[in-house]
Amino acid sequence: MGYTLQQLSDIEEIKLVKHRYFRGIDTAEMALLDPLFTEDVEVEYIGGDYRVALKGRANMIVFLANSFHSGCQAMHHGHMPEITFTGPDNAEAIWQLEDIFINHEKQEHTYGSAIYRDDMVRENGAWKIARTVYDRVMEVVQPLTPGARYTVSRLAEVGLKPDDRRDISHLITWETIE
């Protein structure tokens, strides 16, 4: 009847992993992100008309560093976790994302929401993301706002500058959905 002390503690630890993930991507803190994934993490993002897939922690870190680069302003906040234990060291977690992503190089402002479904595993006492999938709920892509001043961008300071970025297309499986 209800959660055990161990489960309540695990719920808080699982939340921390995802909270750090979102803080890490918006501030390009790769050292914060690295320990949050299993070595063979599987990643899948489903947008309106595409499906992107990626495997492995090393690839994920390169993918994130090159996606959240110096030309962007980014806010990714994860909300309303629904955590279900599937074993003593396994859980599924649903999260709802709100994101703002202003790409100044493309002059494109994207915002919206998505639902994440993560598989979490405990490895050597630490909860990690073993699989993460997101599926968009709503998305709007618009031009930059006339008259707007883009006054603070943490990524402009700490994100990868153009010369430091790499081509990451070989890391990703890209599929168009009809």
Pick one of 98, 103, 104, 165: the residue that binds a second copy (CB under 8 A): 98
Any contact of residue 26 with a second copy (CB under 8 A)? yes
- State the number of CA atoms in the 13 A half-sphere of 130 facing the CB: 12
The DSSP output letter for 124 is T
Q: Kindly determine how many residues on this chain lie close enough to bind a second copy according to the rule CB under 8 A.
A: 59
**Residue 87 in contact with a second copy, rule: CB under 8 A:** no
The verdict on 132 binding a second copy (CB under 8 A) reads no
CB of 131 to a second copy, least distance (A): 19
- Using left for φ > 0, alpha for ψ between -120 and 50, and beta otherwise, residue 168 falls in alpha
Tell me which of 41, 60, 74, 91 binds a second copy, using CB under 8 A: 74
Query: What are the angstrom distances between the C-alpha of 56 and each of 24, 88, 124, 153, 165?
Result: 18, 24, 18, 29, 19
CB of 163 to a second copy, least distance (A): 23
Q: Binding of a second copy at residue 35 (CB under 8 A)?
A: no
In the complex, least distance from residue 77 CB atom to a second copy, rounded to whole angstroms = 5
* Residue 71 in contact with a second copy, rule: CB under 8 A: no
125: number of CA atoms within 13 Å, CB side?
Answer: 0
Nearer to a second copy, 37 or 134 (CB): 134
Provide CB contacts within 8 A for 134, sequence distance 6+.
44, 45, 46, 97, 114, 115, 116, 117
Interface with a second copy (CB under 8 A): 1-3, 5-6, 8-13, 15-16, 18-20, 22-23, 26-27, 47-48, 73-75, 77-82, 94, 96, 98, 100, 102, 112-113, 115, 125, 136-143, 145-155
